[in-house]
Amino acid sequence: MTANQKKKTEVKKADLKKSRVFNKREIKLLGLILLLGFTLRIYYILESASSPFMIYVFSDAKIYTEQARFIINSGSWILDEPFFMSPGYSYFLAIVFTLLGESFTAVRIIQALLSTGAILFVFLAARNLFNQRTAYISAFAAAIYSVFIFYTGNLLGETLQAFLISIVIYLFSVQKPVSKNKHWITAGLIFGVASLFRANILFFVPVLLLWSLYIYIKKNALWTEIKSGIYFFIAGVLIPVFAITLINYIAGKDFVIISSNGGINYFIGNNKDATGVFTTPKNFDFFRDMAGEKFAEKLLQKDLLPSEASAYWFGQGIEFNTSNPSSSIYLILKKLLLFFDHSENPQSSVVDINFAKENFSDLLKLPLPGFFVIAVISVFGFYYAARSKKMNPLILLFTISYIISVVVFFVIGRFRVGIASVFLIFAAYGINETISCFESKNLKALIYPSIAAILFAVLIIAFSPNYNYPNYDAFNNLGNIYFDKNQIDDAIVNYEKSIQIKPNEVAYVLLGNAQSVKQNYSEALSSYQKAIALSPNFALAYFNLGGLYSRQGVYDKALQNFMKTLEIDPSFSEAYKNLGIIYYIIEDYQSSLEYFEKYLSMVKDENIRATVLQDINEIKRRLGSN
């Protein structure tokens, strides 16, 4: 072999080595970290498998599951109405159920794999942004990050969105993409799909456009490098977003971009009684009207499309902001503190990591890092990155826009999962640079970031509101499980536990239902009345009380309570049906006909409509014979 040939061979080997994603050492160490992460996730799934909250679904998980079943049974990706909640997870469940059957365990194992994949992309992004040691630290932190492990076991979209966002962060971290346009449209497509799991991240798009305009006006040299990439990124984002918008329009002839819950969520976080976390607004029946659509229709005295109801609640929230600027600013500052708070501020104890830790997970009892710890340590990383000019502008913009997109609504722990990858990377960089300071004996370099991190931690601990989240709703859900299994005594025990923790109208109604099944009518009556005393506008309490009187043959009081139900909620279709039945029993056929016809106008199911039409024809026959 000639010297020239030898040189060419060495160059080829060097190029091949550069083209490899991982070297041999990285494969071994990273493989161990990925194995650790996957093992922890599977262990959590297995140890919590007997928990009723793993066997059954509640709240948002129940809605996602029901929508997935509808998609499978109908054979169509289009629902019978626009999506109220983000559609991504419903489609994911539909795909898994179609391929593997309706197995929650299979879903969780796939989520464990995807969560492990997020660790891989965190490693790659950290290596691109900083260095190899930072990459190892960030991957290890992601592997043992308690929140990632916890949400792996929940039937919610957090794990999938975190996985997709970690890919986007990796693509943002690539300094010189081989094919810019292809690279950026891929990043946009993945980002757009991620927005289908929670649409708030789309706030990044206008922020990106504003930043682009800024660097263009400033004649920054960066503009010529990124301008085509930004166009292709946004084009990629719009493709899945437009697809869901079209699906929503076909479903309900209504222009809903991704989901229709934005307005009510904005109002929950922006009203005179808002606390910064999830709290049900006064006079709302979240039990039957999660979107607030029926309540808005009652207030406006007209039927509303989902987008119109959402716009109404957005308007109510904005009216509060403009009428109470000082209160709104204070609320935003409070929510900023809550975003970094040590508590997960859960919407429900069913998805509360602390409830899981206390009741069915020894793994989560270990001192695994949570969001607050990671956020405090990341202060070091953000400081060093800014000082050394290693701050990636796209990742910084995304982080800022993500935080803003949460705090303008309300803060719960679930909403922070998507951005956790960024904080893990910067926390790892902060640890790496701190180690480097000790290695070089340059301890002075630790002074400013240490002060900043301490002040940040003190600010959060001292001034962030401390809310107490009792587990009354968990016992309501446990009671429902036993009720559905016809274990009524066990159901009653759990409803009473819920009431002991916090007297609440839902528990009293559920308790009344169970007591009614056991024919303890006086106790059931007392329970319904207590529910009404707690919440005078709780339509379901009046409806169930009317049902109790109806079963006892006390028709005058039954009619009175069904009428009250409709006074509170004119869209409560079953109340019209029951009124029609009672009037039929007491032989007031004209009134019976009116209520059955109203009920028929509200029924969509063709089988039920056919039955109601038979009833109506029978009533007309009796009217004719009279």
pLDDT value of position 470: 79
Asked if residue 412 lies in contact with residue 278, where contact means CB atoms within 8 angstroms, the answer is: yes
pLDDT value of position 290: 80
Q: If DSSP codes are grouped into helix, strand and coil, which group holds residue 51?
A: coil
Tell me the residue type at 496: E
CATH architecture of 472-625: Alpha Horseshoe (1.25)
| Domain edges within the chain | 23-259+340-463, 472-625
Residue range 482-494: mean pLDDT, rounded: 93
CA gap 124, 549 in Å, rounded: 65
Written as six digits, the tokens of 136 are 């190892």
> How many other CB atoms are there within 10 angstroms of residue 83's CB atom?
24
First to last CA, the chain: 113
- 21 vs 411, which has greater pLDDT? 411
pLDDT value of position 382: 97
Q: What is the DSSP string of 447-471?
A: HHHHHHHHHHHHHHHHHS------S
CA gap 368, 146 in Å, rounded: 6
Using the predicted structure, report yes or no on whether residue 12 has a pLDDT greater than 50.
no
pLDDT band, very low/low/confident/very high, at 294 (cuts 50, 70, 90): confident
CA gap 380, 436 in Å, rounded: 13
CA gap 162, 193 in Å, rounded: 12
CA gap 84, 63 in Å, rounded: 10
Burial (Cβ within 10 Å: 0-12, 13-18, ≥19) of residue 438: exposed
Per-residue pLDDT tens digits for 352-388: 888 888 888 999 999 999 999 999 999 999 999 999 9
For residue 77, give the nearest of 92, 57, 59 by alpha carbon.
92
Per-residue pLDDT tens digits for 32-62: 999 999 999 999 999 998 888 888 888 889 9
Q: If DSSP codes are grouped into helix, strand and coil, which group holds residue 186?
A: helix
For residue 569, give the nearest of 596, 538, 548 by alpha carbon.
538
Residue carrying the six token digits 């005594």: 489
For residue 288, give the nearest of 1, 444, 84, 91 by alpha carbon.
84
Written as six digits, the tokens of 198 are 């929670």
Per-residue pLDDT tens digits for 378-425: 999 999 999 998 899 999 999 999 999 999 999 999 999 999 999 999
Residue range 199-223: mean pLDDT, rounded: 88
Residue range 462-484: mean pLDDT, rounded: 88
pLDDT value of position 15: 46
Q: Which residues of 32-51 are buried (b: 16+ CB within 10 A; e: fewer)?
A: ebbebbbebbbebbebbeee
pLDDT value of position 178: 59
CA gap 626, 613 in Å, rounded: 20
Written as six digits, the tokens of 12 are 């080829």
Residue carrying the six token digits 């010529």: 224
Per-residue pLDDT tens digits for 572-582: 999 999 999 99
pLDDT value of position 17: 47
pLDDT band, very low/low/confident/very high, at 516 (cuts 50, 70, 90): very high
The full length of the chain comes to 626
* % of the chain exceeding 70 in pLDDT: 96
Residue range 316-334: mean pLDDT, rounded: 96
pLDDT value of position 358: 86
Written as six digits, the tokens of 577 are 């049906």
Q: What angle do helix axes 505-517 and 539-551 make, rounded to 10 degrees?
A: 20
pLDDT value of position 6: 54
Asked if residue 96 lies in contact with residue 69, where contact means CB atoms within 8 angstroms, the answer is: no
pLDDT band, very low/low/confident/very high, at 301 (cuts 50, 70, 90): confident
pLDDT value of position 238: 96
Q: What angle do helix axes 393-407 and 158-173 make, rounded to 10 degrees?
A: 150
Residue range 73-82: mean pLDDT, rounded: 91
Task: Tell me the CA distances in angstroms from 529 to 225, 285, 535, one per residue in order.
Answer: 68, 17, 10
Residue carrying the six token digits 């930072």: 134
Per-residue pLDDT tens digits for 154-187: 999 999 999 999 999 999 999 766 567 889 999 9
pLDDT value of position 228: 82
CA 7, 8, 13, 16 torsion: positive or negative?
Answer: positive
Using the predicted structure, report yes or no on whether residue 16 has a pLDDT greater than 50.
no
CA angle 55, 350, 492 (to 5 degrees): 80
Using the predicted structure, report yes or no on whether residue 3 has a pLDDT greater than 60.
no
Per-residue pLDDT tens digits for 112-162: 999 999 999 999 999 999 999 999 999 999 999 999 999 999 999 999 999
CA gap 181, 166 in Å, rounded: 20
**Which range is least confidently modeled, 203-207, 358-362, 610-614, 621-625?**
621-625
Residue range 431-454: mean pLDDT, rounded: 94
This prediction's pTM: 0.89
CA gap 411, 275 in Å, rounded: 10
CA gap 508, 528 in Å, rounded: 6
Written as six digits, the tokens of 217 are 């006006």
Tell me the residue type at 298: K
Using the predicted structure, report yes or no on whether residue 299 has a pLDDT greater than 70.
yes
pLDDT band, very low/low/confident/very high, at 344 (cuts 50, 70, 90): confident
Please give the mean pLDDT across all residues of the chain: 91
CA 295, 296, 300, 304 torsion: positive or negative?
Answer: negative
Residue carrying the six token digits 């996602």: 64
* % of the chain exceeding 90 in pLDDT: 70
